[in-house]
Chains A and B, each alone.
Chain A
Amino acid sequence: MLEKHEANKGELGRERHRDTAVNSPAAGRKAADREVPVPGVDDGRAVVLNNWLDGAAAEADARRVDSGHVELWKQIAVETQRRHRMTTPAHLAGQIMAALPERSLAMKVARDARSDRSQRSGATTTSVTLVLGAGALALGVVLGKVFGR
């Protein structure tokens, strides 16, 4: 686990206050997904701050341990809120509707498949009828000859 952690340690996955991570060969890489606890990151300060950001702690608690980052996140929140209010450009819905294929491929495939099945089914029924008819005729001829003697 530690090896995986070290291997994934990138520029942004570095642990706070650890210069070794910054100077490591992996420092230039982007942070990869790492789902193992990172020693040093989950300190009390970070936990309280994350709890506050997740709505599970009061701002006063977060300020007590890390007022600088609380201010930073309040500024970031102004921007994320603005983005949250953004809506799809008005023309896009019409543009998408106009670009839709006349008949969807899925529907076409489904209809074609149904059509093929019914055609095959009809052909099968006709063939069976003909064979049965021919068989009955042959049987009739044979029986007629036997009993006709």
Chain B
Amino acid sequence: MSYPMALPEGLSGPVVRRYPSAVKTTEQTAPIVEIDSDQDIITRVLAGEREAFATLIGRYSDPLYRHALGMTGSPDVAEDILQTSFIKAYSHLGEVRGRFDAWLFRIVANGCKDWLKNIRRTHLSYDEDDQPSGYATPDQDLDRTELRLDLDSALAELAPSLREAFIMKHVEGRSYEEMADLLSTTVGALKMRVHRAREALQDLLEEKYA
């Protein structure tokens, strides 16, 4: 996975020149290490090795948490959705056909959509910020907090399908192909969703920030 606004794999088409991503990433490609495949782990869990499921949790919880957090805007709700989803996955592990990560993603994504259908959000906040601040002055930190809240409010205005596409592209740093694979739709449709989400966010934020 690359982040964010990374070059979309397989979208070369007529584009000959390639440029670095619009925003730099610090994420590097990890060296290839021999690890158990998801299927191996699932087989072990089904054979009774319950603790092996922790490996799957560790492997997928971060991107799924970011997805749930982006979709719901609430760390508590994101945790609940993640916990419920992993328990559901464990309980139906014998039914996995195909890629486990895509199957698990769909469980979490559906959990988020169900929550959005049932709950009207009244408050959004990202309180958890364990990253050191890259800003020099308190004023700039204040600006950042303000943008954070404004972005949350703007995201909350988007239709769920647009928000989902934007979060997957810009927060999770997925390629359009990966998104299409996970959401069972086409790259073209997703590009349209992302473009529309960007335009909507620009409309909401440009007066204050552009």
What residues make up the interface of A, taking CB atoms closer than 8 Å to B? 10-14, 16, 30-35, 38, 41, 46, 49-50, 52-59, 62, 68-69, 71-89, 92-93, 95-97, 99-101, 104-107, 109-110
In the complex, A100 Cα to B58 Cα: how many Å? 15
B158 within 8 A of A: yes
Q: Which of the residues B23, B48, B200 comes within 8 Å of A74, measured between beta carbons?
A: B23
In the complex, A30 Cα to B201 Cα: how many Å? 13
In the complex, A93 Cα to B86 Cα: how many Å? 10
With contacts A53-B198, A76-B147, A106-B91 known, what are 13 further pairs, Cβ within 8 A? A12-B162, A16-B199, A33-B161, A55-B7, A55-B19, A68-B206, A77-B23, A81-B25, A86-B65, A88-B61, A95-B83, A99-B87, A104-B90
Ordered nearest first, which 5 A-B pairs have the shortest CB separation?
A: A12-B200, A106-B94, A77-B23, A55-B7, A33-B161
Q: Are A89 and B57 in contact (CB-based, < 8 A)? A: no
Q: Are A81 and B3 in contact (CB-based, < 8 A)? A: yes
- Chain B contacts for A49, CB-based, 8 A: 198
Given the interface pairs A77-B23, A82-B131, A87-B62, the reply to whether A33 lies near B91 with Cβ below 8 Å is no
CB distance from A78 to the nearest CB of B (A): 7
- Chain A contacts for B57, CB-based, 8 A: 93, 96-97
18 contacts between A and B (CB under 8 A): A12-B157, A12-B159, A13-B200, A30-B157, A46-B199, A55-B7, A69-B206, A80-B4, A82-B131, A83-B69, A83-B126, A84-B66, A86-B62, A86-B66, A89-B65, A100-B50, A107-B48, A110-B94
B34 within 8 A of A: no
In the complex, A138 Cα to B152 Cα: how many Å? 86
- Chain A contacts for B210, CB-based, 8 A: 68-69, 71-72
